[in-house]
Amino acid sequence: MDFSLFIQVIFLFLFCLVLASLETQIEGADGWAANLPTWKPAPSKWFSRLYGKIMGGRDLTLYHLLVFTLVLVFLHYPYFAGKTWNFTSELTTFSFFFIVAIIWDFLWFVVNPKYDFGSFLGRHVLWHRKWLLHLPVDYWLALIISALLYARFSFGLFKEWLAIIGIFFILTVVVIIFAAFAGILRIKEEFKQ
Protein backbone atom coordinates (compact mmCIF):
# COMPACT_ATOMS: atom_id res chain seq x y z
CA MET A 1 0.00 0.00 0.00
CA ASP A 2 1.41 3.37 -0.93
CA PHE A 3 1.49 6.31 1.45
CA SER A 4 -1.21 8.29 -0.38
CA LEU A 5 -3.68 5.41 0.02
CA PHE A 6 -2.77 5.17 3.70
CA ILE A 7 -3.52 8.90 4.14
CA GLN A 8 -6.77 8.48 2.20
CA VAL A 9 -7.90 5.71 4.56
CA ILE A 10 -7.12 7.87 7.61
CA PHE A 11 -9.03 10.76 6.04
CA LEU A 12 -12.03 8.54 5.29
CA PHE A 13 -11.94 7.21 8.85
CA LEU A 14 -12.05 10.77 10.20
CA PHE A 15 -14.96 11.46 7.86
CA CYS A 16 -16.77 8.41 9.30
CA LEU A 17 -16.07 9.57 12.85
CA VAL A 18 -17.40 13.07 12.19
CA LEU A 19 -20.42 11.73 10.33
CA ALA A 20 -21.22 9.24 13.11
CA SER A 21 -20.86 11.97 15.74
CA LEU A 22 -23.09 14.34 13.77
CA GLU A 23 -25.69 11.65 13.26
CA THR A 24 -25.78 10.86 16.98
CA GLN A 25 -26.64 14.49 17.63
CA ILE A 26 -29.41 14.32 15.04
CA GLU A 27 -30.92 10.93 15.95
CA GLY A 28 -30.14 10.67 19.65
CA ALA A 29 -30.76 7.18 21.01
CA ASP A 30 -33.28 6.35 18.29
CA GLY A 31 -31.44 4.86 15.37
CA TRP A 32 -32.60 4.74 11.80
CA ALA A 33 -34.36 8.09 12.12
CA ALA A 34 -37.07 6.50 14.25
CA ASN A 35 -38.21 9.81 15.76
CA LEU A 36 -37.08 12.32 13.16
CA PRO A 37 -39.59 14.50 11.32
CA THR A 38 -38.50 13.07 7.97
CA TRP A 39 -40.51 11.87 5.02
CA LYS A 40 -41.32 8.16 5.30
CA PRO A 41 -43.42 6.78 2.46
CA ALA A 42 -45.96 4.07 3.07
CA PRO A 43 -44.29 0.65 3.37
CA SER A 44 -46.71 -0.65 0.72
CA LYS A 45 -45.22 1.55 -2.04
CA TRP A 46 -43.13 -0.41 -4.55
CA PHE A 47 -40.02 1.72 -3.96
CA SER A 48 -40.38 1.30 -0.19
CA ARG A 49 -40.54 -2.47 -0.58
CA LEU A 50 -37.51 -2.45 -2.93
CA TYR A 51 -35.54 -0.26 -0.52
CA GLY A 52 -36.50 -2.53 2.38
CA LYS A 53 -35.23 -5.60 0.50
CA ILE A 54 -31.92 -3.90 -0.35
CA MET A 55 -31.50 -2.42 3.14
CA GLY A 56 -32.25 -5.49 5.23
CA GLY A 57 -35.86 -4.63 6.02
CA ARG A 58 -35.25 -1.07 7.17
CA ASP A 59 -37.77 1.65 6.34
CA LEU A 60 -37.16 4.16 3.59
CA THR A 61 -36.61 7.69 4.93
CA LEU A 62 -35.70 10.84 3.07
CA TYR A 63 -33.11 11.50 5.77
CA HIS A 64 -31.21 8.33 4.85
CA LEU A 65 -31.55 8.88 1.12
CA LEU A 66 -30.03 12.32 1.57
CA VAL A 67 -27.22 11.25 3.90
CA PHE A 68 -26.25 8.32 1.63
CA THR A 69 -26.29 10.70 -1.33
CA LEU A 70 -24.10 13.12 0.62
CA VAL A 71 -21.55 10.37 1.25
CA LEU A 72 -21.55 9.31 -2.41
CA VAL A 73 -21.11 12.92 -3.58
CA PHE A 74 -18.27 13.36 -1.08
CA LEU A 75 -16.53 10.20 -2.29
CA HIS A 76 -16.78 11.40 -5.89
CA TYR A 77 -15.20 14.77 -5.18
CA PRO A 78 -11.71 13.70 -6.37
CA TYR A 79 -13.10 13.25 -9.90
CA PHE A 80 -14.24 16.87 -9.91
CA ALA A 81 -10.86 17.99 -8.57
CA GLY A 82 -8.82 16.50 -11.38
CA LYS A 83 -8.58 12.76 -10.77
CA THR A 84 -9.27 10.81 -13.92
CA TRP A 85 -12.52 8.90 -13.83
CA ASN A 86 -12.82 5.43 -15.30
CA PHE A 87 -14.87 2.33 -14.61
CA THR A 88 -12.16 0.78 -12.44
CA SER A 89 -11.84 3.89 -10.27
CA GLU A 90 -15.64 3.98 -9.93
CA LEU A 91 -15.60 0.40 -8.61
CA THR A 92 -12.97 1.45 -6.07
CA THR A 93 -15.09 4.45 -5.06
CA PHE A 94 -18.12 2.22 -4.44
CA SER A 95 -15.91 -0.23 -2.56
CA PHE A 96 -14.97 2.61 -0.22
CA PHE A 97 -18.64 3.59 0.08
CA PHE A 98 -19.45 0.19 1.57
CA ILE A 99 -16.52 0.38 3.98
CA VAL A 100 -17.49 3.91 5.02
CA ALA A 101 -21.08 2.79 5.61
CA ILE A 102 -19.95 0.03 7.98
CA ILE A 103 -17.45 2.14 9.93
CA TRP A 104 -19.78 5.14 10.16
CA ASP A 105 -22.63 2.95 11.38
CA PHE A 106 -20.50 1.12 13.95
CA LEU A 107 -18.96 4.35 15.26
CA TRP A 108 -22.51 5.65 15.81
CA PHE A 109 -22.80 3.08 18.61
CA VAL A 110 -19.37 3.94 20.02
CA VAL A 111 -19.70 7.74 20.15
CA ASN A 112 -23.42 8.12 20.75
CA PRO A 113 -23.83 9.66 24.22
CA LYS A 114 -27.42 8.38 24.42
CA TYR A 115 -26.73 4.81 23.38
CA ASP A 116 -24.94 2.24 25.48
CA PHE A 117 -22.16 0.70 23.38
CA GLY A 118 -22.44 -2.40 25.55
CA SER A 119 -25.88 -2.90 24.01
CA PHE A 120 -24.44 -3.45 20.54
CA LEU A 121 -26.24 -6.76 20.24
CA GLY A 122 -29.08 -7.97 18.05
CA ARG A 123 -31.79 -7.78 20.67
CA HIS A 124 -31.01 -4.11 21.44
CA VAL A 125 -30.45 -2.81 17.89
CA LEU A 126 -33.85 -3.15 16.28
CA TRP A 127 -32.90 -1.70 12.89
CA HIS A 128 -30.25 -4.41 12.36
CA ARG A 129 -32.53 -7.42 12.28
CA LYS A 130 -30.14 -10.24 11.31
CA TRP A 131 -26.84 -10.93 13.05
CA LEU A 132 -23.90 -13.24 12.39
CA LEU A 133 -20.83 -13.61 14.61
CA HIS A 134 -21.86 -10.65 16.81
CA LEU A 135 -22.16 -8.25 13.87
CA PRO A 136 -25.12 -7.29 11.70
CA VAL A 137 -25.39 -9.39 8.55
CA ASP A 138 -25.41 -6.07 6.65
CA TYR A 139 -21.80 -5.49 7.72
CA TRP A 140 -20.71 -8.89 6.38
CA LEU A 141 -22.54 -8.35 3.09
CA ALA A 142 -21.07 -4.87 2.70
CA LEU A 143 -17.58 -6.25 3.35
CA ILE A 144 -18.04 -8.93 0.69
CA ILE A 145 -19.36 -6.41 -1.85
CA SER A 146 -16.53 -4.01 -1.01
CA ALA A 147 -13.90 -6.73 -1.44
CA LEU A 148 -15.35 -7.82 -4.78
CA LEU A 149 -15.52 -4.25 -6.09
CA TYR A 150 -12.00 -3.40 -4.92
CA ALA A 151 -10.16 -6.61 -5.76
CA ARG A 152 -11.88 -7.38 -9.06
CA PHE A 153 -10.49 -10.94 -8.91
CA SER A 154 -6.91 -9.75 -8.35
CA PHE A 155 -5.06 -11.34 -5.42
CA GLY A 156 -2.74 -8.31 -5.17
CA LEU A 157 -5.66 -5.90 -4.93
CA PHE A 158 -7.38 -8.20 -2.43
CA LYS A 159 -4.28 -8.04 -0.21
CA GLU A 160 -4.36 -4.23 -0.49
CA TRP A 161 -8.07 -4.26 0.43
CA LEU A 162 -7.27 -6.39 3.49
CA ALA A 163 -4.62 -3.83 4.52
CA ILE A 164 -7.22 -1.05 4.14
CA ILE A 165 -9.69 -2.99 6.30
CA GLY A 166 -6.89 -3.58 8.82
CA ILE A 167 -6.20 0.15 9.10
CA PHE A 168 -9.91 0.91 9.53
CA PHE A 169 -10.10 -1.79 12.21
CA ILE A 170 -7.08 -0.45 14.11
CA LEU A 171 -8.43 3.11 14.00
CA THR A 172 -11.82 1.88 15.22
CA VAL A 173 -10.20 0.07 18.15
CA VAL A 174 -8.24 3.26 18.97
CA VAL A 175 -11.51 5.23 19.09
CA ILE A 176 -13.11 2.60 21.34
CA ILE A 177 -10.12 2.68 23.70
CA PHE A 178 -10.04 6.49 23.66
CA ALA A 179 -13.79 6.59 24.37
CA ALA A 180 -13.30 4.28 27.35
CA PHE A 181 -10.35 6.22 28.76
CA ALA A 182 -11.92 9.62 28.08
CA GLY A 183 -14.87 8.62 30.18
CA ILE A 184 -17.41 8.70 27.37
CA LEU A 185 -19.11 5.69 28.92
CA ARG A 186 -19.56 7.66 32.15
CA ILE A 187 -20.73 10.69 30.20
CA LYS A 188 -23.38 8.52 28.57
CA GLU A 189 -24.91 7.87 31.97
CA GLU A 190 -25.37 11.63 32.45
CA PHE A 191 -27.11 11.94 29.08
CA LYS A 192 -29.58 9.19 29.97
CA GLN A 193 -30.94 11.18 32.91
pLDDT tens-digit readout, 42-61: 888 888 888 877 787 788 88
Question: What does the pLDDT average to over 134-161?
Answer: 93
Looking at mean pLDDT, say which of 58-72, 111-125, 137-151 comes out highest. 137-151
Q: Is position 59 within any domain?
A: no
Cα separation, 64 vs 45, whole angstroms: 17
- Amino acid at site 25: Q
Question: What does the pLDDT average to over 66-86?
Answer: 95
Can you give the pTM of this predicted structure?
A: 0.87
Q: Give the distance from CA 129 to its chain's centroid.
A: 16
pLDDT in tens, 161-190: 999 999 999 999 999 888 887 766 555 555
Please check whether residue 29 is in contact with residue 18, taking contact to mean a CB–CB distance below 8 angstroms: no
Structural domain containing residue 165: 3-28+87-192
pLDDT on residue 192: 53
More confident residue, 37 or 106: 106
Work out how many domains the chain is built from and give that number.
1
pLDDT of 193 higher than 70: no
Please check whether residue 149 is in contact with residue 99, taking contact to mean a CB–CB distance below 8 angstroms: no
60 exposed, middle or buried (CB, 10 Å; 0-12, 13-18, 19+)?
A: buried
Q: Is position 75 within any domain?
A: no
Cα separation, 90 vs 41, whole angstroms: 31
pLDDT on residue 27: 85
Give me the helix-helix angle, 3-27 and 87-111, nearest 10°: 50
pLDDT on residue 191: 53
Q: Is position 182 within any domain?
A: yes
pLDDT of 91 higher than 80: yes
Q: Is position 105 within any domain?
A: yes
Please check whether residue 117 is in contact with residue 185, taking contact to mean a CB–CB distance below 8 angstroms: yes
pLDDT of 131 higher than 90: no
Question: What does the pLDDT average to over 118-140?
Answer: 82
Please state, as a whole number, how many other Cβ atoms lie within 10 Å of the Cβ of residue 104: 22
Q: Give exposure, 39-53, as e/b (b: 16+ Cβ within 10 Å).
A: ebeeeeeeeeeebee
